[in-house]
Structure 1
């Protein structure tokens, strides 16, 4: 019992100090070693060098290309004016009376194409503020609209999304970014449909009582130190964002702006479906390359090829619009470093906890709650850890590193589709991560200049409650019909 309390204490302290803005680079190793010391089950130095650092390094080796290329792609989309061009086109077609839908669609299109949610939030917020003011919709609903479009259905549900939350399960289950597309589309429809229904209902209620946009200071804030620290585990370093880019006037046409987004999805799909089956990958069985199999790496390879293709396209078509190609590339590359090290540190923390003898009892309890259903087991583990860490990617990585092999064995024993496992894992990562201490939540509220008290309630509904409903739905469908 004391050992379990020690683990819980480490988790609670991780959540508390992360919310207070302490970097995970310090918290993760320190609290992992605290758990080891309190239980007395593992030697301290060996736990740090052989367990924590080894697992941290393994995560970086596996996923650094995705963080790296994704950050460069997002920076180029921002600096070239492509993100704002897409937003302006969508808004011009929908009009001010569809302000909420316009903001959600703008965020959704950009994040589905691989643009970091932080880049999207900074690019779209000024446009959203103008739209909501013209439509006399309360400003407090903007964070909910940004959250719905940027970190719900496009992050975890839509098949093919290059988001890291959709990429992490691939090596564990031998799947691709298009795993269980039917389940993904259903989950996405539930999230988008119920989320829009909620936000529209809130806007109608505000209109009925005469609540308008309100009096607010509309200046786009410079990210403060606390906001930067809290955001660095979610895929982009705010130190590399320059809100002044919103003043750019020579935006590309919509067709040129949307082309890189389309390329990411299309090239990803074609590489998996057409290129991989034609490749001779027998060399992967050699010790020099792991050994591994094409099933374990094809998903990551396809996203690497897709993002690289889109980056080259952006450079070729936006060269003259970029103030400095070197600066954009450098800042994009730099923006990937802190996020992956923070997420990898969470993986190292989870590895130390998983190595403690008491973790087997915790595992047995969590698996026992699933009644032998691997979809329930993986959902329970991932949602719990994502909630505690405040990170979808971090919580999922901890769960899969510690229990991934057991999930695969349980899926095989129950004839459960690994594609369904992938999709449930991805959706589960985004079901409870958006709690008040989540870095993305804090950053979006900071960008909008609003407090948790003013706007978090709507974020909770569209980014926590609704995704949980979608998760339960696809668990039921996956259990009854398998992966489709």
Structure 2
């Protein structure tokens, strides 16, 4: 009993202290060992070195190339002006009367192409300010619009998205980023459709009450003489990521495409690593193309260095959460919690959806929460799904959709950063962020669970 209480206390402290700004890298080992101590486990040093650090290191081994190449790709698209070129072109084509849709689609195109949501927020915000001010739409709706385009349908739902949330389930279920395409597309339509409808409704309601953009002195400098790359040239690396990822994951790094028996000496199978390899190669080639076509007059080495440096905090924060989760799952008291989670429903998709959602909410991290849940329950969920005739691809897509809901509670780092970039407060803008990235994703998750259960993937 005391052990279970220790785990709950540890999770509550993690959520609270992370919200207060304490580094997750420092918090996770301390709170994991606190839970162990409260449960009567005094082997703290072996738990730290052999469980926490071993699993942290294993996560880095699995996903560092994706974090690294994704960060570099995002930096290239940012510094060369390609991201801004895409956003401006979309905005111009749609017009100021469709300001919300323009912002959502701009963010969606960039994030679906693999650009980091942080890069997208900084690139799109100045354009959003110009559009919303011209259309006299309340500025408080800008964070929600960026969140919808960046944190939802392109992060968790659309098949093929190179965002890390779509890569994490692959080794657990031997899937690739294109898993469960029908479930993914339906989920994306729900997220995009309901989210956009909500924001437009909010803008219309504000307009009816006489509320306009607001009296804000935005520190946004518009350089009308700035030379941005051609729109289609800017879009090419993004298209290349998607096309190459699809071809490689479906026709190259798969069983039967080649003789993969030589992988046995590395104690791996192509089914387990093929999805990751496809994404790594696709990102690498897209980076090279972007540097060759977009970096005229720009020093390449600083771009690569900045991107590489930016990838380290991102992966270490997530890997630290994974190390924490593995310590917790190794404790005797966790068996009670695990059985409770699996006992929620005999349907593994329901158990997975709830487990991933809750842990993503507690950690304030979509990737961290999903990694903890799948690390603790992934094998069991796969066995249950196989026994019930449920396609492993359904487990993949439910996991990604589930991680993109409660993760954006107020303590989420991306939410805090987005509000900071936009110069807004939780009080002013969080309700709309929550609606498009917490409540509506729950609807999409329920739809996906139903589809996966009846065999529509």
**Distance in 1 of aligned mates of 2:189 and 2:170:** 23
Spell out the pairing of 1:135-174 with structure 2 (5 A cutoff). Answer: 135-174=135-174
Q: CA deviation at 1:41?
A: 2.4
Question: Residue 346 of structure 1 is aligned with which of 321, 324, 334?
Answer: 321
**Distance in 2 of aligned mates of 1:65 and 1:344:** 13
Q: CA deviation at 1:37?
A: 1.1
Q: Secondary structure at the match of 1:481?
A: coil
Question: Residue 285 of structure 2 is aligned with which of 309, 321, 331?
Answer: 309
Number of the residue aligned with 2:377: 403
Comparing 424-433 with 33-42, which one deviates more in the overlay?
Answer: 33-42
Aligned length: 455
Spell out the pairing of 1:19-418 with structure 2 (5 A cutoff). Answer: 19-219=19-219, 249-277=226-254, 278-286=257-265, 289=266, 291-322=267-298, 324-370=299-345, 372-418=346-392
8 Å CA contact 1:173–1:419 kept in 2: the answer is: yes
TM-score of the pair, normalised by structure 1: 0.92
1:473 aligns with 2:450: no
> Could you list the runs of 5+ residues in structure 2 that have no partner in the other structure?
none
Q: CA deviation at 1:186?
A: 0.1
8 Å CA contact 2:169–2:175 kept in 1: the answer is: yes
Q: CA deviation at 1:208?
A: 0.4
Residue deviations 1:422-446 (CA, integer Å, cap 9, x gap): 0000100002111000011101000
Moved over 4 A (4+): 244-248
Q: CA deviation at 1:247?
A: 8.2
Number of the residue aligned with 2:405: 431
Comparing 324-333 with 178-187, which one deviates more in the overlay?
Answer: 324-333
Number of the residue aligned with 2:428: 454
**Distance in 2 of aligned mates of 1:108 and 1:443:** 18
Q: CA deviation at 1:477?
A: 1.2
**Distance in 2 of aligned mates of 1:319 and 1:119:** 17
Number of the residue aligned with 1:240: none
8 Å CA contact 1:4–1:358 kept in 2: the answer is: yes
**Distance in 2 of aligned mates of 1:401 and 1:481:** 25
Aligned pair in 2 of structure 1 residues 263, 472: CA closer, same or farther (>3 Å)? same
8 Å CA contact 2:390–2:455 kept in 1: the answer is: no
8 Å CA contact 2:253–2:277 kept in 1: the answer is: no
Number of the residue aligned with 2:419: 445
TM-score of the pair, normalised by structure 2: 0.98
**Distance in 1 of aligned mates of 2:90 and 2:245:** 24
